[in-house]
Amino acid sequence: MLAIIAPNTDTVPPMQPDSPLPSAPDDTPNAEVLILRLAREDPELGQVAVAARLREFGVSISPSGVRYIWQKHGLETTVKRLQALVDQSNDGLAALSDSQRALLERGTLTAQLARTPTSGREAGGDELLDRRKVILNGAAALFSEAGYDRTSIRDIARRVGLLPGSVYHHFPSKEELYLAVHREGFRRVMEAVDAAIGETTDPWERLRRACEVHVERIVAGSSVDRVTGHSLALTGNHELLSKIRPARDAYEAVFRRLVAELPVTPGTDRSLFRLFLLGGMNWVYLWYREGKHSPREIADAMVEMIRNGVDNL
């Protein structure tokens, strides 16, 4: 976010109705200087209130003019003005009052939920369940980007615009949050696979559809989908892996059943078949580049090469 205060305005004393207007640095209009100072001193004021306050100083500007200045500096909402204060202060969230922190938290949560597809929300749209979903998505993104060891609860809280205590309210530890991400990821992908394969009885078609879901989720799904898929291939923490294993094994059992149904050459090692296919799909996220092949095309090609081979003799 851009700086909340224009150059040199920190030298201007707090605003008093009877104080003289400050000189504008670098030919910046007085109105802009005052609007930016008010954004710091009273970030909860709306554009009408700011325009009225400026009239006390003999500066005439419309509410839409105030909003123009806010937009110019990326401060057009109360949440953005509060977040700017947090970002610029060494005290972080402690720089805000309790009511301001609550307002920032609610506003950030609302913005997060607005970016979440309605179909992906929990049934009933309960606020606590929605907040839990926001935390899961933010945590998954950081686990995927930085890894488990380099991600803290404070990092996750900052990512989703909540206080660390709000995260701990839903998840007692980072480990429990990590496990919850994976349980949720496996639940989602298993539901999607079940829906996809339930539409046909052909064994190869069922496998193909399951693979399409798997690859799609790994490279184009939510953060929860991606980190869950990655962990099928790479999990450096063996203690965590052992705790994830029940959910992972339940998901792999779906592919075990699909492979068991295939009409293949007698003597085929179906276990190696399954592991080879899952391993290939799990590594797609490392080399996938959008635009060349779609996730569905990649999955289809993998299944086709295993089924029919690539020898043209």
122-176, pLDDT tens digit by residue?
433 445 557 888 899 999 989 888 888 889 999 998 888 888 888 988 899 999 9
CA distance linking residue 100 with residue 96, whole number of Å:
6
Confidence at residue 258, expressed as pLDDT on a 0 to 100 scale:
94
CA distance linking residue 52 with residue 49, whole number of Å:
5
91 and 128 inside one domain? no
191 and 293 inside one domain? yes
Confidence at residue 232, expressed as pLDDT on a 0 to 100 scale:
53
Which of 27 and 266 is assigned the larger pLDDT? Answer: 266
Q: Considering the domain boundaries, does residue 1 fall inside one? A: no
CA distance linking residue 71 with residue 73, whole number of Å:
5
158 and 262 inside one domain? no
Q: What is the pTM (predicted TM-score) of this model? A: 0.58
CA distance linking residue 195 with residue 188, whole number of Å:
11
Q: Which domain holds residue 259?
A: 174-308
CA distance linking residue 244 with residue 227, whole number of Å:
12
180 and 293 inside one domain? yes
Query: How far is residue 91 from each of residues 33, 75, 85, 96, 163, measured CA to CA in Å?
Result: 24, 20, 10, 9, 13
Residues in the chain: 313
* Each residue's pLDDT tens digit, 88-113: 877 777 777 777 776 676 666 555 54
Which of 15 and 305 is assigned the larger pLDDT? Answer: 305
